[in-house]
Structure 1
């Protein structure tokens, strides 16, 4: 085995032990079996901040940017299903306010400008969901 890659040996041993554990049924009936994995996507977080974000997340705290993004997403989802036109207008005003506040705080461009294709798609999506229910409750 001279000159062999030590990682391939470790990988071989690990795979063998996993196969043995599977054959013994050690992986049967684990919590969450058959459910999708709940993996956090941290690709939008700079690599040097990922550990801090993970610690904050585990402590139940969200960084302001992520909390704001989550709230914006929740608001857009709510607008799609809103049947009351007056409530829809109020929530659209809230959405505009939140976007303006985010721009001021972050001092950077938030991708929801009126000349932005995403903004147009968002408005199309919202107006299409309003057409689904022509008779608001």
Structure 2
């Protein structure tokens, strides 16, 4: 159940919208960009920013990208022979197992 403060806040926002007070704000019509995780400590945010600026990508992301690439290659009919497709399927299986073990840690 909403408190009286929630109801009053919603009413004031609705009134401001009707008056057009939000029409010409900077960035209007564009999505908000949140670069930081709000539930991380400042130290963790700083470490993540340093790693991101250095081009570091977590192993999980690399594995997921390669898995997606292999699935796309297997789904396309580019004339690859059966031996090559079998190799791609083995590689895909190995990556899926690796990703699963990484996520279980």
Q: Normalised by the shorter chain, which TM-score bucket?
A: 0.3 to 0.5
TM-score by length of 1: 0.40
